[in-house]
């Protein structure tokens, strides 16, 4: 049973979501402010945090930033419908995904399960060979990344997206494929999640010796990983 941390100052909504999530087989701990969210996330043994953006006192954005300073724990943000700014900031700070509020509990469960599927180690795999292209080395079974021989800190979502690109290095990968295999869900209209995650990965990798980014935008298609 996966343990979830649910953070929202709306107690009625929290109670409703807790009841639904527990019926779906999750064990839920609910808190109602950012301070408690950070404390629980860093001290508890949780598989994922569902974190509302709009809360009094410490906002969900600030709580996410503090969590990311110390932990790679998957975080799913609850954002106001149509509020692209909070959504983009959350993704830039390392949120794994988001669900607009008001949300259908069924959609929330689907997003949670998608994140948990892609962040859990696949203990059934027998291929433990590293995935290497140029200066980039990925260890899928360990979910570790080396760039020029040095450890590279990535969020779980960033690792998944980079792995998709690395497995097709030198070839364009569509945003639809990146969303399906990296985010675990179909690409939706006007969804900028892939672009924001790619921007973050580019920033962490830096440029090649010739000044280019190793992740190239392929207009009208998606992205392509290139070597030195």
Query: What structural domains and CATH numbers belong to the chain?
Result: 3-119 (3.40.50.2300), 131-225 (1.10.10.10)
Q: How would DSSP label each residue in 119-139?
A: HS--TT------EEETTEEEE
pLDDT level of residue 128 (50, 70, 90 thresholds): low
pLDDT tens string 129-180: 899 998 899 998 888 999 999 999 998 899 999 999 999 999 999 999 999 9
pLDDT tens string 45-76: 899 999 999 998 999 999 999 999 999 899 99
Task: Please determine, for residue 216, whether its predicted confidence score (pLDDT) is greater than 70.
Answer: yes
- Phi (first) and psi of residue 82, to 5 degrees: 85, 0
Question: Which residues are registered as beta bridge partners of 215?
Answer: 225
pLDDT level of residue 124 (50, 70, 90 thresholds): very low
pLDDT tens string 105-120: 999 999 999 999 887 7
Instruction: Map tokens 């973050």 to a residue.
Output: 200
State how far the Cα of 3 lies from the Cα of 19, in Å rounded to an integer.
14
State how far the Cα of 138 lies from the Cα of 225, in Å rounded to an integer.
13
To the nearest whole percent, how much of the chain has pLDDT over 70? 95
Return the higher-pLDDT residue of 33 and 124: 33
Query: Tokens representing 45?
Result: 């043994």
To the nearest whole percent, how much of the chain has pLDDT over 90? 71
State how far the Cα of 112 lies from the Cα of 19, in Å rounded to an integer.
15
Interval 17-46 mean pLDDT: 95
**What is this structure's pTM?**
0.79
């Amino acid at each position: 049973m996966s343990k979830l941390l649910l953070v929202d100052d709306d107690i009625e909504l929290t109670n409703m979501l807790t009841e639904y999530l527990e019926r779906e087989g999750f064990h839920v701990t609910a808190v109602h402010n950012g301070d408690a969210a950070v404390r629980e996330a860093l001290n508890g043994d949780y598989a994922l945090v569902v974190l509302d953006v709009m809360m009094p006192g410490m906002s969900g954005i600030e709580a996410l930033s503090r969590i990311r300073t110390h932990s790679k724990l998957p975080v799913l943000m609850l954002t106001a419908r149509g509020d692209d700014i909070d959504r983009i900031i959350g993704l830039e700070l390392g949120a794994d995904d988001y669900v607009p509020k008001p949300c259908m509990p069924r959609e929330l469960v689907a997003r949670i399960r998608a994140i948990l599927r892609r962040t859990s180690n696949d203990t059934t795999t027998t291929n433990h060979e590293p995935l290497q292209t140029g200066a980039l080395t990925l260890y899928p079974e360990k979910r570790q990344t080396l760039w020029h021989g040095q450890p590279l800190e990535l969020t779980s979502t960033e690792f998944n997206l980079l792995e998709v690109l690395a497995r097709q290095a030198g070839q364009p990968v569509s945003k639809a494929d990146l969303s399906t295999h990296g985010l675990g869900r179909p690409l939706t209209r006007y969804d900028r999640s892939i672009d924001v995650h790619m921007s973050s990965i580019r920033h962490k990798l830096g440029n090649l010796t010739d000044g280019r980014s190793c992740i190239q935008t392929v207009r009208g298609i998606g992205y392509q990983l290139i070597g030195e």
